[in-house]
Amino acid sequence: MYAYFSFLACFFFLFSFSPISSTKDGFIKNNVEFARSQEQLQVASIEKSDKILNPRTVSEGKVKYISPEDWTSGFYPGTMWYMYELTGDSTWRTRARKYTQAIDTVKYLTWHHDVGFMIQCSFGNGYRLGEKAYKDVIVQAAKSLSTRFRPVAGIIQSWNVDKGWQSQRGWECPVIIDNMMNLELLFNATKLSGDSTFYKIAVSHADQTIKNHYRPDYSCYHVVDYSLKDGSVRNRHTAQGYAHESSWARGQAWGIYGFTVCYRETHNPKYLEQAQKAFNFVIHNKNFPADFVPYWDFDAPKIPNEPRDASAAAVMASALYELSTYSDKEFYKGWADKIMSSLAGPDYRARLGENGNFLLMHSVGSIPHGAEIDVPLNYTDYYFLEALARKKQLEN
């Protein structure tokens, strides 16, 4: 049965491959030029304020700026680093440094797990592109993240449960699939410091996630709540998906990306297999749309009349370019190209000067919370540019 579906998927893939996304016909150049112009407008509008602002989305027609403690604060600085990498223009590097430095205090943040996203996307990219002085920030941030490791359950606790909406769910130690994205910071910190504690925490978290977050069909739960007494699983819930037993699209994408990183850092084939199988769930799902940009939840009740989530597509595309360097190059790169072609087409890519000067339209933050529905999001743009940079590197 599985072989039959794989055959169908390959057949569909081969015959629907769109040549639009190859470098030769200017796909990368066109998108980099667009990003340069659009991001230039974003920077110009921020700089008019004489402040260092951090744009997240558009709300009621206005760009919404966030504080360094917001989970998305690393994406705009990270976008600047990718603009530098994609254009080679040192103006972007100067900006990247400035917007990165502005979130320096995040290295001490211990009240939620997203310090991995925040520091890796900003300082982590800066370090990768030559800012070796960022090492101490990365290691300090990994120490902060490690304070959330709960040895009894072998995981990093995602959210605190003492206030806000999380306190109303009856959870003890909630871990969300998104947390797989924070592990890259820990792997990096071990390489930079020589302290293997961070690496061991990352591996333990990844192993528990395989064991407890995934269903037999390789879709994943959003939230797994652990007991702090004995480490057992208390609940498997959702927070941002449609239902506890549904498959929230961005969660599925976070898992694919996170396990690809784990394979890169450990060479353990079980992580590669996890990423591959989680992606197989996506392409074999009856609700995966023809333009490869998922609905916000694979089980949303009114599909096809449900919002798409371009962020899930962008995260997947970026992960798939990396996955293509580890196995089945044509297959995974082909899928990433197809997703990128859609995202860069008129249905998703904004027009210059519109969309709050964000690059892509049609993402979803959290429908159950009534927040950020069918809007631009800074992380959609970040992963779109990361995917573009990875595509460029693969094709050169």
Tell me the closest approach of the beta carbon of residue 158 to ligand GLY, in angstroms: 9
Q: What is the dihedral of CA 242, 247, 249, 251, to 10 degrees?
A: 100
Least distance to ligand GLY, CB of residue 79, Å? 17
Q: Which amino acid is at 8?
A: L
Q: Which is nearer to ligand GLY, 250 or 349 (CB)?
A: 250
CB atoms within 10 A of CB 213: 23
> Count of residues binding ligand GLY (CB under 6 A)?
5
Identify which of residues 190 and 240 has a Cβ nearer to ligand GLY in the complex.
240
For the chain, the three-class secondary structure string (H helix, E strand, C coil) is CHHHHHHHHHHHHHHHCCHHHCHHHCHHHHHHHHHHHHHHHHHHHHHCCCCCCCEEEEECCEEEECCCCCCCCCHHHHHHHHHHHHHCCHHHHHHHHHHHHCCHHHHHCCCCCCHHHHHHHHHHHHHHCCCHHHHHHHHHHHHHHHCCEECCCCEECCCCCCCCHHHHCCCCCEEEHHHHHHHHHHHHHHHHHCCCHHHHHHHHHHHHHHHHHECCCCCECCEEEECCCCCCEEEEECCCCCCCCCCEHHHHHHHHHHHHHHHHHHCCHHHHHHHHHHHHHHHCCCCCCCCCCCECECCCCCCCCCCECHHHHHHHHHHHHHHCCCCCHHHHHHHHHHHHHHHCCCCCECCCCCHHHCCECCEEEECCCCEEEEECEHHHHHHHHHHHHHHHHHHC
Please state the closest distance from residue 284 (CB atom) to ligand GLY, in A: 23
Binding mask 266-305 for ligand GLY (x = CB under 6 A): ----------------------------------------
Q: Does 250 bind ligand GLY (CB under 6 A)?
A: yes
| Length of the chain, in residues | 396
Catalytic residue among 114, 299, 309, 381: 114
Structure tokens at 20: 């639009």
Nearest distance in Å: CB 333, ligand GLY: 25
309 is catalytic: no
Give, as ranges, the residues between 343 and 382 that touch ligand GLY (CB under 6 A).
365
**Residue 123 or 296 having the CB closest to ligand GLY:** 296
Q: Which of 379, 378, 388 is nearest to 357 (CA)?
A: 378
Q: Which is nearer to ligand GLY, 250 or 333 (CB)?
A: 250
Query: Least distance in Å: CB of 3 to ligand GLY?
Result: 33
User: Toward ligand GLY, which CB reaches closer, 174 or 365?
Assistant: 365
Give least dist CB 239 to ligand GLY, A: 9
Token readout for 17 is: 């491959």
> Binding to ligand GLY by residue 386, rule CB under 6 A?
no
Instruction: Identify the residue among 31, 100, 238, 240 touching ligand GLY (CB under 6 A).
Output: 240
CB of 314 to ligand GLY, least distance (A): 12
Closest CB to ligand GLY: residue number: 178
Is 28:347 a contact under the CB 8 Å cutoff? no
Site for ligand GLY in 115-144 (CB under 6 A): none
Among this protein's residues, is 114 annotated catalytic? yes
178 counts as binding ligand GLY under rule CB under 6 A: yes
What track of x and - describes contact with ligand GLY for positions 69 through 88 (by CB under 6 A)?
A: --x-----------------
From the candidates 70, 136, 162, 178, which is the catalytic residue?
178
The catalytic residue positions are 114, 178
The residues that touch ligand GLY, with contacts defined as CB under 6 A, are 71, 178, 240, 250, 365
